[in-house]
Chains A and B, each alone.
Chain A
């Protein structure tokens, strides 16, 4: 038993120290690159938040594509959202905004199982109360913003939606540190 405890204590502290150190190093690096990015945007005067998208999920090619495909518009209707109702393709409607959280499912600290039942549905209540009457943290709300793809019933080009979905499928909300910097 003593051996088991010794090994466990060793692994525990090794992991904790490793994660804390790596986290600190990563945070420093991230802070630098984000500062550079912010400065770059300011200098070039690139449009931020076009079509209601937050800066971090929008990019120049996306907004360019939106301009090119203005004729083929589509609506983010409830019916459309309802199609994305499983763990391989999960959209949520929160405060009339549509989020594609597919890539976030497995990263959810409360477990994917808490989100999956809400896929393809209105989930404002669930998000605000975590189903247990307690709100998510501010950082959770800012992470959610990374998965935004549009507003409910917003008329957007299909190309734009596809692009946003693609963006949110590959997003790693690692910009969290950066977002806190922006505030």
Chain B
């Protein structure tokens, strides 16, 4: 339900300028023949594209209020991804529809339209589209290292500046109509301000809590657990949430990276479990204790506490165990009945199993280790056999995307309702 509030807000933000556009001029001026219709569609796409672009910049700013509307930061990022794609496609087709009016004059004038530097406002638009195209290709087609990609993506702000200049200087409904101009400029400047701050300035100011790196526990060859102790105030969170951590000095770089918390709540020392997947995570185990760390968050809605039904199935794939460890460590009363499936390829990959086993002896939770090298992949059928009465349980999934989506599909086939399946998508982008 909350998620729908976010979608509704986006829809309204897009429909307002469109509504205004429809009333600036009589519609028979806009749609009186084929060329005029094409031009009008081009203009609509321009307005929609610019509005979506502004909204997307606002969504890129990590802000708690917006998170509430979308029920979790992960949802925001998945929206950001989709809205970005839609904005890009709208803006790509924007000039294609406008070229009809030039084609009706002559092929040469249509060709001139696509040649940069003929006309300054048009050139702003071309520059914006060119930068966007490069960055979108980097996002969708080329797998860059996370922090290289993240750095490249900051230049979307530059593309947006050109898009905004284009919309201000091109003779159009935006330049003629004060209301439309004020609306789009306000939204644009908010988006620009927030994203510029997020991309370039947020490192300079620190409004976040500061922790010190206390200890690094090497759990196996690939997985480490970092223990962090608060300098003064400690973070309030509920189990299952994640944080952005940023090392304030040292050789590891100062970009913020998202990690799930593995310690129970409430707690003084924060723990996170990290599997070395990329450059950043590989470097973590070489860090020296004492490093200052900025903690931003907490974010996310993935928690057993957010689900009314206390009969739950937890399914973890690999390092996806992290939020469940936090939840298991936080189970205070005995009202929960939980089956935790812990899927790894081999037994030695199941980190923190000893601790989970200890929690199991308290009787709050049943641990079902599942090693695919021995028994094959876990399936919904196996789950329904091992955990009877599946239909009356809520299922929480966290792990690699193929595991989560594969199991979700199988569960839906077993007539489990979609609203009873909850998952935490690790891949933020």
Which A residues form the contact surface with B (CB < 8 A)? 1-2, 4-5, 8-9, 11-12, 15-16, 19-20, 22-27, 30, 87, 104-114, 116, 130-132, 134, 137, 139, 143, 172-174, 176-177
Q: How far is the CA of A30 from the CA of B109 in the complex (A)?
A: 13
Q: How far is the CA of A127 from the CA of B132 in the complex (A)?
A: 34
Closest residue of chain B to A112 (Cβ to Cβ) is: B36
| A137, chain B: closest CB distance, angstroms | 7
**A20-B111, A27-B111, A143-B105 known; A1+B81 contact, CB < 8 A:** yes
Residues of B within 8 A of A1 (CB): 81-82, 85, 140
B101 touches A106 (CB 8 A): yes
Main secondary structure of the interface of A (DSSP, over half): helix
Interface size class of B (residues with CB under 8 A): 35 or more
B89 touches A132 (CB 8 A): no
Q: Which of B28, B88, B96 meets A5, CB within 8 Å?
A: B88
Residues of A within 8 A of B29 (CB): 87, 111-113, 116
Q: List 24 A-B contacts (CB under 8 A).
A: A1-B82, A5-B85, A8-B92, A16-B114, A19-B107, A19-B113, A25-B107, A26-B106, A27-B107, A30-B108, A87-B28, A87-B29, A106-B39, A106-B104, A107-B105, A108-B101, A111-B101, A111-B173, A112-B32, A139-B109, A143-B105, A174-B107, A176-B105, A176-B106
| A156, chain B: closest CB distance, angstroms | 27
Please encode chain B, from 3 to 26, with 1 for each CB lying within 8 Å of some chain A CB and 0 for all others: 000000000000000000000111
Q: Which of A12, A19, A112, A132 meets B175, CB within 8 Å?
A: A132
Q: How far is the CA of A116 from the CA of B28 in the complex (A)?
A: 10
| A108, chain B: closest CB distance, angstroms | 7
Residues of B within 8 A of A108 (CB): 101
Residues of A within 8 A of B133 (CB): 9
B103 touches A177 (CB 8 A): no
Which B residues form the contact surface with A (CB < 8 A)? 24-26, 28-30, 32-36, 39-40, 43, 81-82, 85, 88-89, 92-93, 96, 98-99, 101-115, 119, 133, 136, 140-141, 171-173, 175-176
B32 touches A87 (CB 8 A): yes
A12 touches B35 (CB 8 A): no
A107 touches B104 (CB 8 A): yes
Q: A110-B172, A172-B106 given. 18 additional CB < 8 A pairs?
A: A1-B85, A1-B140, A8-B88, A11-B93, A15-B96, A19-B107, A19-B110, A20-B111, A20-B114, A26-B107, A26-B108, A27-B108, A87-B32, A105-B36, A107-B35, A107-B101, A110-B171, A111-B29
